[in-house]
Amino acid sequence: MACLFSVGHSISTLASHVRFSCQGGVRLSGGVQKCGVSVRRKVKAISMALNDVRISESSQSSECGVVLPAENKFVQDAVDGLRRAQVIAVPTDTLYGFACDACCEDAIKNVYSIKGRSATRPLAICVADVENIEHYGTVEHLPDGLLRALLPGPVTLILPRGERSKLHRSLNPGLTSIAVRIPDSPFIRSLCREFGGALALTSANSSSERSTVAVDEFSHLWSHCFAIFDAGTLPAGRAGSTIVDLTAGGEFKVVRAGSALVETVQILSKFNLSERAERKPEEP
């Protein structure tokens, strides 16, 4: 989707003084496309200076890739993209991720297409608050207070999906579990609240490539996103979240050590959960 900045009369004055060109192209008058790093930073600086900036749809195209700061004033821009079944790139408390509406079949297909991801590999979901989790997975078998002790934070919990889940059947068909995240990241949590639903979430990279901690690291995929929300270089490293299987009552299984293994196991032990034997996980 080609995009343009709608900023009222101020953009006309600004555009008359600013002209950029680079390989891949930047067009302030006809859309912002992916571009080189130096030009991208200039465009982002302009975006930050204009508090009333908004992204609006102008035509149908696969090129968009506008980069905006991951700030609350741009949350509505992200919501606009999600409601159009588009994919956005967002920072979490660990890695950058691709996100879309977890209840929209077309949006889910777009994520798989962008990553070149096998349809047999499931996606996790992201919600804003602990009380939202019960709408998408089963939590009745967990000790009281456990979810709030673990979340928000760099932890992914695999839970039974259950018959009452609001998730679209096209998300991870055939699986009876769902991986849930609540990142300790104000932008993505504000986004989930404003959107009013769960986001399908996966790392912002092509399948088989390393995970990304800065937006420049997946610049070759910008053009496939409605927008990219930049929080700078994320400090947690590339280990990602710690993944824990909590599908069975009274026990847990660490599926991936991730960046918070020690703290996570300590919390689980305080709630008297025992670690179960090795088994093949359903990877989120």
**Minimum mean pLDDT range among 51-55, 176-180, 213-217:** 51-55
DSSP symbol at 57: E
Contacts of range 202-205, beta carbons closer than 8 Å, 24 or more positions apart: 202/97, 202/98, 202/111, 202/115, 202/117, 202/123, 202/124, 203/95, 203/96, 203/97, 203/98, 203/240, 204/89, 204/95, 204/96, 204/97, 204/98, 205/115
Segment 87-101 shows an average pLDDT of 98
pLDDT, one tens digit per residue, over 32-43 is: 444 454 545 554
Segment 218-224 shows an average pLDDT of 97
Give the C-alpha separation, 111 to 129, whole Å: 23
The enclosing H or E element of 24 equals: none
Q: Does the structure show a pLDDT above 50 at 49?
A: no
**Three state DSSP letters for 109-137:** HHHHHHHCCCCCCCCEEECCCHHHHHHCC
**List of residues 6+ apart from 215 with CB closer than 8 A:** 67, 89, 96, 222, 228, 230
Q: Is 148 exposed, middle or buried (0-12, 13-18, 19+ CB in 10 A)?
A: exposed
The pLDDT value recorded for residue 62 is 39
The enclosing H or E element of 15 equals: helix 10-17
What percent of the chain lies above the pLDDT cut of 70? Answer: 75
The pLDDT value recorded for residue 252 is 98
Contact 150, 264 (CB under 8 A): yes
Q: Does the structure show a pLDDT above 80 at 259?
A: yes
Q: Does the structure show a pLDDT above 90 at 149?
A: yes
- The domains of the chain, with CATH numbers, are 66-275 (3.90.870.10)
The pLDDT value recorded for residue 202 is 97
At 124, give phi and psi (nearest 5°): -85, 170
Give the C-alpha separation, 63 to 60, whole Å: 9
Q: Does the structure show a pLDDT above 80 at 53?
A: no
Going by pLDDT thresholds of 50, 70 and 90, the confidence category of residue 64 is confident
User: Facing residues of 254 across strands?
Assistant: 244
CA angle 254, 260, 265 (to 5 degrees): 50
Going by pLDDT thresholds of 50, 70 and 90, the confidence category of residue 14 is very low
Give the C-alpha separation, 111 to 106, whole Å: 9
Length of the chain in terms of residues written: 284
Segment 73-99 shows an average pLDDT of 98
Pick 42 or 152 by higher pLDDT. Answer: 152
pTM: 0.77
Segment 255-277 shows an average pLDDT of 95
What percent of the chain lies above the pLDDT cut of 90? Answer: 73
